């Protein structure tokens, strides 16, 4: 019952097709919501059926036609009441943290490798988010943009995403190094006596 609100929030930034949302959910809104293309298409259809978004067919040359969606007044009202309702506590679900939790009982090598890989992914994301932030604020500096900008919601959520990715990177690198050092120590211990 909440993907719908993420979709409505995403559509506040303009007209999008299901396909565009499916691509773009990886940046911006994807910082705090994740959905597969099938879910987005299905949700858009449902939202349209309930009159919360309006779709229009755009005929294209050289590629399939597409349907662009915008939020209706009813959709805005729905968002309004969603925003006013009590928020459920957020939660993270992360395989990699489960592995780290279990790392004392299993071989650490693959966990270390995955931590380093995740750190690289997080670093790439910080760059994408940094670029997005620069684009959103245009030529204003951050403080001025946040004081005077008309559309600051996406900027604020990107800031959260950026902080998250930075923290993720730091922690992954620190944890990977630590586990690697412990492995080296253990190996030395076994070899040396």
Q: Dihedrals φ, ψ of 51, to 5°? A: 75, 15
| 88 scored as a contact of a copy of itself (CB under 8 A) | yes
Q: Which two tokens stand for residue 54?
A: 């309006």
In whole angstroms, the minimum distance from the beta carbon of 190 to DNA comes to: 37
CA distance 3 to 60: 29
Question: Which residue, 62 or 105, is less far from DNA as judged by CB?
Answer: 62
- What is the enclosing helix (H) or strand (E) of 166? helix 153-192
Among 13, 15, 27, 39, binds DNA (CB under 7 A): 39
- What is the enclosing helix (H) or strand (E) of 163? helix 153-192
Q: Which two tokens stand for residue 140?
A: 């204003």
| 99 scored as a contact of a copy of itself (CB under 8 A) | yes
| 35 scored as a contact of DNA (CB under 7 A) | yes
Segment 92 to 151, residues that bind DNA, using CB under 7 A: 93
Place of tokens 């309702």: 85
Contacts of 47 (CB under 8 A, 6+ apart): 4, 7, 8, 53, 69, 75
In whole angstroms, the minimum distance from the beta carbon of 59 to DNA comes to: 10
Question: Which residue, 46 or 66, is less far from a copy of itself as judged by CB?
Answer: 46
Query: Taking contact as CB under 7 A, which single stretch among the options 32-40, 131-139, 140-148, 178-186 is the one that binds DNA?
Result: 32-40
| 41 scored as a contact of a copy of itself (CB under 8 A) | no
| 6 scored as a contact of a copy of itself (CB under 8 A) | yes
């Amino acid at each position: 019952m909440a993907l719908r609100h993420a979709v409505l929030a995403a559509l506040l930034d303009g007209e999008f097709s299901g396909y565009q949302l499916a691509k773009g959910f990886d940046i911006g809104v994807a910082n705090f919501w994740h959905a597969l293309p099938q879910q987005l298409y299905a949700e858009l259809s449902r939202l349209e059926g309930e009159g919360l978004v309006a779709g229009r067919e755009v005929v294209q040359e050289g590629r399939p036609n597409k349907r662009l969606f915008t939020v209706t007044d009813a959709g805005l009202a729905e968002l309004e009441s969603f925003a006013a309702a009590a928020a459920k506590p957020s939660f993270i679900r992360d395989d990699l943290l489960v592995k780290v939790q279990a790392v004392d009982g299993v071989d650490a090598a693959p966990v270390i490798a995955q931590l380093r890989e995740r750190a690289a992914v997080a670093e790439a994301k910080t760059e994408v988010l940094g670029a997005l932030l620069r684009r959103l604020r245009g030529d204003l500096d951050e403080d001025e943009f946040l004081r005077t900008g008309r559309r600051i919601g996406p900027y604020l959520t990107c800031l959260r995403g950026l902080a998250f990715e930075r923290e993720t990177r730091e922690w992954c690198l620190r944890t990977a190094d630590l586990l690697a050092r412990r492995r080296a120590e253990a190996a030395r211990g076994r070899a040396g006596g």
